[in-house]
Chain A
C-alpha cells in the first residue's frame, strides 16, 4: 500500500543538502565577484589593505544585519535600526560627555567608556522593547511600528543635542576599538563584529531561542498551540535587534570618532538588503546567519570593486537593487513550487 520506497528515515548526504541550500549559490556569487574584480585589478583589489578596509567598513552593518536576520525570520521587519543606532550613539556620547572630567569627552577614561557602552546598549534595548511590545502584544504590523520608531528615534536623537553631532568620541575608545588592531593587523572592529556574528549565529542555529524564532516565522498559530509564549518570544527578538543596533551605534561612534546623525539613516535598507540577499525569506521561517554575512558583503564588494576599476559607484546601487529584487523573486518562485 505504501508508495514510499524506503521505509526507514535517514539524513540526506552533505552534498544534497549543500546543493539545495541557497546560501551555497549566494556564496558562489560572492566568490565570482571577488574573482572578477581580482582579475580586472589584481594589484589593487587583491590586497590585504583593501580587504582590511572592506571588513572594517562592513562591520557596523554586519552587527545590525545579524539582529535583522532574527526579525525577518519571524516574518517581521525592523526599519528602525538605523535611527536606533544613531539614538544609541547619541545618548551614549551625551552621557559620557556629561560624566567626563571637565565635560571633555575626548578625555574620558575606561570607567566612563564602560558606562557609555551600557547606555548605548540600554538605549537600543528601549527602542527594541517598544517595537516588540507594539508588534507582539498590540498586533500592529511591524512595517508600521518600526516606520514609526524610525522617525521617533531619530527625532529623540536630534533632541538630545539640538540636532548637532557630538564629536569627538573618547580618544581611548577611538584608538582601541575604532582603529586598533590585533596581532596580524586584524582590526578590532572586525574582531568585535565577528564575535557578535558567531555568537548569535550559534544562538540562532543551535538553541531553543533560535528554534522558536523559526517556528514563529513558519507558523505563528502552531507555535502558540504548542504552548510556546509566542508573543514573549517575538518581543525578545525585536529587543535583540534593538540591542544589536545599540552595540553597532557604539562601534560606529568609535570608528567615526563621534555620532553620525545625518549618516546611517539608510542603514536599515542596507541591512534588509544584505539579509534578503543572504537567502533569508521575507515571508519568514527561513534564513541563516552565514547567508547574512555573505549577503552583506556582496554590496560591499561591488562598491569597492567598482571604485577600484573606476566605474562610478552609483552603479553599485543599481546592481544591488536589481539583485535584491531578483533574489526575492526566486524566493517566491521556490515557495510557489514547494506549495504544489
Chain B
C-alpha cells in the first residue's frame, strides 16, 4: 500500500544550522502516526516542511506516490493537508460556526451573495453537522468560542481543520494546554478522524497519550528518523530509549 504522505531524505538548513539531516517519514490512510523526539530533534521543522510553512532545502515529498511541491500553507491546504496548531488558532470572539468557516465563508444565493452577504444559517447548520460528525458537543452554536472551555475550544480547532482536510491532518501538541477530561475529548476526536480514513500525524510529548491514541510511532533524533514502532508492541522504555539514543534501529533511516 502506498502511504498517503511520504517524506524522503528531507534536509532543512537555517544558515549553518542543520535542523533536518535527511529525515524520512510516512503516514497512511486511516492511521494515527505519532511523531516524537526530544526538543530540537526536528519534529516541528519536519511538520512545517510537510504542511507548507517551510520549504525544505532538499528531499522529496510524495503525496499518494506523486512528488509535490508545498510552497505555502495554502498550497498544502489545496491538496487536502491541514494543520492544527499548538496555540489555539481560533478567533475567540467569533462563534464556532464562524470559526469553522473562517476563510471559507458561504454566501447567500443571488445578488446578496454577490455583494458579499453571508449565509449564516447555512454555515451554522453545516457546522452543527460537522461537530456532530466528530463528536464535539457544544451547548450553543452562537456563543463566542472564548466563552467555551479549553477542551471545547481545541475540539473546535481540531474539527475546523479536519472538516476541510481530505487526506492528512497534522496536530502539533493538540492537548498541551488541556486538563485530563478535556484531553480525553480531544483524543476521541482524533480517533474519529482516523476512523473516517484520514491520515493523522500527532506530535506530542506525552508518551502515555502517544501509546494510547496512535497506531504507529516514528522517532526523530538529531534531524533523522531513528526508530519506528507499532504502538501496540512498543513500551514506554522503547520510546524513551529511541529518543535519547540508547536504542537504535539500523533500518529506520
Contacts and interface: CB of A to CB of B under 8 A. Distances in A.
A43 interface: no
A163 to B, nearest CB: 43
A2 B137 contact: yes
A115 B3 CA distance: 65
Contacts of B177: none
A219 B142 contact: no
Nearest to B92: A218
Interface in B133-154: 137-143, 146-147
A9 B92 contact: no
Interface residues of B, number: 38
A261 B91 CA distance: 41
Contact of B102 (A206, A209, A228): A228
Interface string B28-57: 000000000000000000000000000000
Nearest to B72: A227
A338 B118 contact: no
Interface residues of A, number: 36
A209 B116 contact: yes
B118 A208 contact: yes
A217 interface: yes
Contacts of A209: 116
B85 interface: yes
Contacts of A221: 89
Contacts of B107: 208
Interface in A1-55: 1-7, 9-12, 17
Given A208-B105, A219-B91, A338-B146, A3 B181 contact: yes
Nearest to B124: A11
B141 A222 contact: no
Given A215-B102, A227-B77, A9 B128 contact: yes
A55 to B, nearest CB: 28
A4 B137 contact: yes
Contacts of B181: 1, 3
Given A2-B137, A206-B117, A225-B73, A211 B98 contact: yes
B93 interface: yes
Contacts of A207: 115-118
A214 B139 contact: no
Given A4-B139, A219-B92, A285-B91, 9 more contacts: A6-B137, A10-B141, A11-B140, A207-B116, A207-B118, A218-B92, A222-B88, A223-B103, A284-B93
